[in-house]
Amino acid sequence: MADDDSSDDRRQPAELLRLMSEHPGMEAVQLGQGVRRSLEAVRGNADELVRWIDLLNQGNAGMLIMAQGGIVEPGDGITEYLDELSRLWHNFIASAMTLVTHVTRVRKKQSAEFQAAYDQARQELLSDPVVAFVQGLRNYWLHKWTPSNFVRMKFGRDAPLTYVVGCASDALLEEWEWTAPQRVYLQERDEFVLRDSVIEYVEHIDHFYEWFKEAYHAEHAEAFESLTALEGEYDEQVPQPAPVFGDHLPYSEETLRAVLLAGHEPAPRLWKRVSMRLRSRSRRRRK
C-alpha cells in the first residue's frame, strides 16, 4: 500500500507539460535552439557548396565537366556546373551572417555581463580578415552583382592535376567599396580560392558558436537544471517514441544512410547521378 500512496503523489503528465511550458527557462531554451538552427543553416549551405566544388576532383569528373557544353548553347558541362555553383554559393553567402544577427537579438535579453562578453566575442569574430571579407562579399552579391568566378587547372611537380574555383582579386577590388580589412584580405592574394575561404569562415563561426553555447548555458544554468528535472519526471511516466529510422519513416535506414552519404559514393556513380541532374536542368531551360 505504501507504494500505491507514493505513486498517487506523482504529478501527472498534463501538469508537468504545463509546468514546462510556463517555466521561465523555456524561452531561453527556444532562443538557444533558434541560434543552433542558424548555425546549422550556415554549416549546411557551406557543406553543399564544398561538396559541389569537390566534385571537380573526383575521378575524371572535372575533365568531363570542362570538356562538355558551350557558351552559346549550354550542354552538360561547365556552364551548368557554374550555374549550380552560383546557386549554392549564393545560399551560403546569404546565410553567412545569420548566426551573428540572431545571437545579437538574443543578447538583448541577457545580463549586462553576458552582453559585455558577447560584444567582445563579436568584435573578435568580425575583425578576422576572412569573416570581414565574407561579410563584404555578401553585401556585394546581394546589392550589386554575381561575382565573376573561374575554374582553372592546378599543376604541381609532384602532385596530381586538380581543379580550383575562385575569383580574381583585382576584379573585385575595382567593382566595390570594400572596407579596409576586406581590401587587405583581397590585396594579400592575387585570387581567393572559394573552397579555402568557405572552410576557414565556418571554422570561425563554429568557434564563435562554441563561445555562445558555453556562455549561454552558464547564464541560464539554474533555469536549465530545473527544467531538465521536470523533463526527466515527465519521461519517467510517458514512454518515449522509437527512433525515427525504420518503420517510422517511408524509407528504410539503409536508404536514408545512402542519401546522407551520397557525397561519398565512388566517382563514376556520383558523376552519373550529377550528369543526369544537369541534363534535366538543361532540358527544362530549352523548353
What number of other Cβ atoms are within 10 A of residue 187's Cβ?
12
SS (H, E, C) the chain: CHHHHHHHCCCCHHHHHHHHHHCCHHHHHHHHHHHHHHHHHHHHHHHHHHHHHHHHHCCCHHHHHHHCCCCCCCCCCHHHHHHHHHHHHHHHHHHCCHHHHHHHHHHCCCCHHHHHHHHHHHHHHHCCHHHHHHHHHHHHHHHCCCCCCEEEEEEECCEEEEEEEEEEHHHHHHHCCCCHHHHHHHHCCCEEEHHHHHHHHHHHHHHHHHHHHHHHHHHCHHHHHHHHHHHHHHHHHCCCCCCCCHHHCCCCHHHHHHHHCHHHCCHHHHHHHHHHHHHHHHHHHHC
Low-confidence ranges of the chain (pLDDT < 70): 1-8, 69-76, 240-287
State residue 72's pLDDT score. 46
Alpha-carbon span 96 to 87, nearest angstrom: 14
Q: What value, to the nearest 5°, has the Cα angle with vertex 181 and ends 172 and 101?
A: 95
The answer to whether residues 33 and 75 touch, using CB atoms and an 8 Å cutoff, is: no
Q: How many domains does the structure of the chain reveal? A: 1
Q: Please check whether residue 184 lies inside any domain of the structure.
A: no
- Owner of C-alpha cell 592574394: 189
Q: Please check whether residue 48 lies inside any domain of the structure.
A: yes
C-alpha cell at 123: 568584435
Per the structure, the complete domain to which residue 42 belongs is given by 14-129+198-233+247-286
State residue 193's pLDDT score. 93
Q: Please check whether residue 191 lies inside any domain of the structure.
A: no
Alpha-carbon span 24 to 139, nearest angstrom: 38
Q: Please check whether residue 113 lies inside any domain of the structure.
A: yes
Q: Please check whether residue 7 lies inside any domain of the structure.
A: no
Alpha-carbon span 253 to 90, nearest angstrom: 32
Residue 28 CB-density burial (10 A; 0-12 exposed, 13-18 middle, 19+ buried) = buried
> What are the phi and psi torsion angles at 141 (to 5°)?
-70, -45
Q: Global pTM?
A: 0.77
Q: Please check whether residue 28 lies inside any domain of the structure.
A: yes
State residue 249's pLDDT score. 44
Alpha-carbon span 99 to 35, nearest angstrom: 6
State residue 117's pLDDT score. 97
State residue 98's pLDDT score. 94
Q: Please check whether residue 166 lies inside any domain of the structure.
A: no
